[in-house]
Structure 1
Amino acid sequence: MNKYILSLFMLFTIISFGQHKKDWEKIKSLKVAYITEKLSLDSKQAQEFWPIYNEYEEKKHALSRKEYSQIKDKLKNSDDVSEKEAKKLLTLKISIEEDEEELDKAFLLEVSKVTSAKKALLLLKAEEDFKRDLIKQYRQNKGGR
């Protein structure tokens, strides 16, 4: 059984038992194995790639938290938001999206330097495939909803 099939099997097993913090850590480990295999990273490339990827993920997560705490949380009571506050929130949303775009650009350029342009593109596909497989298995475990 190759690593990919084994990783997916483990991922699906984890999902079926719930989504606790420990499970998220296992999913993250499976994602690392999945991406490493899909990109065919050798040990040198992996040593350079994963610190860059991890830093990118942390920054991306921080932007998501900022968006949630400063925008989405306030929109729960959107009827109470004034036009002035709405303009302020919209400006902040646009600013966060611009920050995300700059982060993505810088990340892809840096990854392409330590691996290759082709592997940077393959990374985008591998991430999407991993998410798709994760969602597919989640739906299957929830009775196809």
Structure 2
Amino acid sequence: MGTSITQLDNAKIAFITSRLSLTQDQAQRFWPLYNDFIGKRRELNRTARLLRRDAASPALSDAQLRDNFTQDFALRQQQLNLEKDYFDKLQKVLSLRQVAQLYQAERDFTKEVLKRVAGAGQPAAPPTGEQ
């Protein structure tokens, strides 16, 4: 995964910028902070996925399973700590309402992407109504 910005990244940037009504000054301070947060969150999520995948292995001993759970709990705590840390940092750039709008915008963007992906494999609906 390189640092190139994808079409999806560009769409997310436009979506969030619009939803938050960022000023130019806010945008200049917000995006580096947000991108840092997203990179760290993505890495923790990747590690958690690998850990969950490994937990399904029937070859693990009880001690290894216990260790896996301990690691999972630690990762979830790291994720929570990361969110709390960036919540504080974001409030130095955005209003509290904008921070709330950011979290909602992230959820809405994900829903929209999933809806479009799910709809991409289906034929277009026939037109309804008469002309």
TM-score tier, shorter chain, comes to: 0.7 to 0.9
4+ residue runs of structure 1 moved beyond 3 angstroms?
none
Match among 53, 72, 93 for residue 114 of structure 1? 93
Conservation of the 8 A alpha-carbon contact between 2:55 and 2:68:
no
Match among 53, 60, 73 for residue 34 of structure 2? 53
CA–CA separation in structure 1 for the residues paired with 2:19 and 2:66: 43
Provide TM-score, normalisation by structure 1. 0.77
- Number of the residue aligned with 1:8: none
Please give the residue correspondences for 1:12-31 in structure 2 after superposition, counting only pairs within 5 Å: 25-31=6-12
Aligned length: 120
CA–CA separation in structure 2 for the residues paired with 1:68 and 1:141: 26
Higher Cα Rg, which structure: 2
CA–CA separation in structure 1 for the residues paired with 2:77 and 2:35: 20
CA–CA separation in structure 2 for the residues paired with 1:74 and 1:136: 30
Higher helix share: 1
- Number of the residue aligned with 1:75: 55
Provide TM-score, normalisation by structure 2. 0.85
Query: In structure 2, what residue type is equivalent to 1:108?
Result: F
Aligned with 1:114: secondary structure? coil
Conservation of the 8 A alpha-carbon contact between 1:31 and 1:130:
yes
CA–CA separation in structure 2 for the residues paired with 1:122 and 1:98: 24
Tell me if 1:65 matches 2:46. yes
Conservation of the 8 A alpha-carbon contact between 1:52 and 1:111:
yes
Aligned with 2:92: secondary structure? helix
Per-residue displacement from partner, 1:39-97 (whole Å, max 9, x unpaired)? 0001100000001100001111111222233x1342342x1111100010000000000
How large is the RMSD of aligned CA atoms in angstroms?
1.7
Query: In structure 1, what residue type is equivalent to 2:110?
Result: K
Task: List gaps (5 residues or longer) in structure 2.
Answer: 124-131
- Number of the residue aligned with 2:15: 34
Aligned with 1:80: secondary structure? coil
CA–CA separation in structure 2 for the residues paired with 1:74 and 1:66: 11
